[in-house]
Amino acid sequence: MQDDLTLALWQTGYTPTKAEALQRLGVTAAQASAQGAHLLIAPEMGLTGYAIGPERVAALAEPSDGPLAQAVAAIAQRHGIAIVFGYPEQNPAGKPFNATQFIAPDGSRPMNYRKTHLFGDMDRAQFSAGDAASQVFEWRGWKLGLLICYDVEFPEAVRGLALQGADAVLVPTANMVGFDEVQNTLVPARACENRLYVGYANACGSEGPTRYGGLSLVANAQGEPLVTAGRNEALLVVALSQDHLESARRHSQLPHRRPALYQPLTLKE
């Protein structure tokens, strides 16, 4: 039996500079590690800000192995904790990608993912959409997948990871006030219908007129919220259990799928 995985979600506001964001990430990583967390998830675009405009996003964009990734790797190694963080990734062919990266406690980078579903005019003005579906990777005996914010609202995105055997889907997000149905309904539903955990780490506070809704949560494989945050800053820590997954999957719908019946759905625009 694989070991349990202790997950920390950092619900926080955005800071004016990368240096301040990295300093706060280091403090939070130390706190999460001291509480027994193996893995810390920060919000979407957590190290640069999200609602900052196309010019600022382009100016702050870096390659996946750039200074930001190296700084996060140093934090992960210092505190012995894996970190999922969001950042703008350089794109030689156009606008930057809205990306997230998993960095292990030894500083290695087993997964980088680019947001594939862009939400609203702001997202589309600032970013290019990624063109590759998320892929499962293995860490500490767990099969993990990354999505970003709006991606989790598409059942196909989570189902694709479930069909690869994902045990947990990790979602940095910047969901805004007025869209609480995502945290209250969709995230638990994605977890339940795919018999996996979903960790949803949202931003809080404001960036100019943009207000973020908080309500970060971890939902288990029966769609039950294990921990939830309110509207303000929070650090949530919770253990994910392989025993729970094994029990929930005894009643999974996945073995009873009939893919041939669903093929027309992928042909409709």
Is 44 known to be catalytic?
yes
Question: What is the percentage of the chain residues whose pLDDT exceeds 70?
Answer: 99
Residue that has been written with the tokens 């900052």 in this structure: 52
* pLDDT given at position 2: 53
181 a catalytic residue: no
**Confidence at residue 163, expressed as pLDDT on a 0 to 100 scale:** 97
Q: What is the CATH number of the domain that holds 78?
A: 3.60.110.10
- From the list 18, 62, 89, 115, the catalytic residue is 115
164-212: pLDDT as tens digits: 999 999 999 999 999 999 999 999 999 999 999 999 999 999 999 999 9
Share of the chain above pLDDT 90, in %: 96
Q: Please indicate whether residue 62 is annotated as part of the active site.
A: no
Q: Which domain holds residue 206?
A: 5-267
Q: Using the predicted structure, report yes or no on whether residue 1 has a pLDDT greater than 50.
A: no
Residue 165 CA to residue 203 CA, distance in Å, equals 28
Catalytic one among 89, 149, 153, 192? 149
How many structural domains compose the chain? 1
Query: What average pLDDT does the structure give for the chain?
Result: 96
